[in-house]
Amino acid sequence: MILVTRLDRQVMLLNPDQIVTIEETPDTVITLINGHHLLVRERAQVLLNRIVAYRTTVLRRAGSIHADRNYLKRKRLGQFARPKLDEREQQLTFHHQDS
């Protein structure tokens, strides 16, 4: 989340993944994916620097998980193996129209 200051000096946190565009008219206008517009005091370059810093921090934290930890990997113990069918079971029909 990044800190932005509205024109009424109210400070708020904003999720940068929700930002569609940042426009600099006399005021900086942030357009969100839901169509809402925010007028903020910060310049577009300052917001861009904050977004880059935020995403760098997220990626750095994601990369700090050690590769030797296998708690995210699924152990495949044959749970996805199909059982072998004999010839009679292979010819089973699922609908009465198939017979």
pLDDT digits (tens, 9 = 90+) for 14-71: 999 999 999 999 999 999 999 999 999 999 999 999 999 999 998 888 876 655 555 5
- Tokens 């169509």 appear where? 35
Would residue 86 count as lying in a domain? Answer: no
So what's the pLDDT on residue 76? Answer: 55
Within 10 Å of residue 51's Cβ, how many Cβ atoms?
16
Would residue 93 count as lying in a domain? Answer: no
Within 10 Å of residue 41's Cβ, how many Cβ atoms?
14
So what's the pLDDT on residue 70? Answer: 59
Res. 2: pLDDT tops 90? yes
Q: Please count the structural domains in the chain.
A: 1
- How many CA atoms lie less than 13 Å away from 2 in the CB half-sphere? 25
Return phi, psi of residue 62, to 5°: -70, -35
So what's the pLDDT on residue 23? Answer: 97
So what's the pLDDT on residue 10? Answer: 96
Q: What is the C-alpha separation between 8 and 59, in angstroms, rounded?
A: 33
Would residue 87 count as lying in a domain? Answer: no
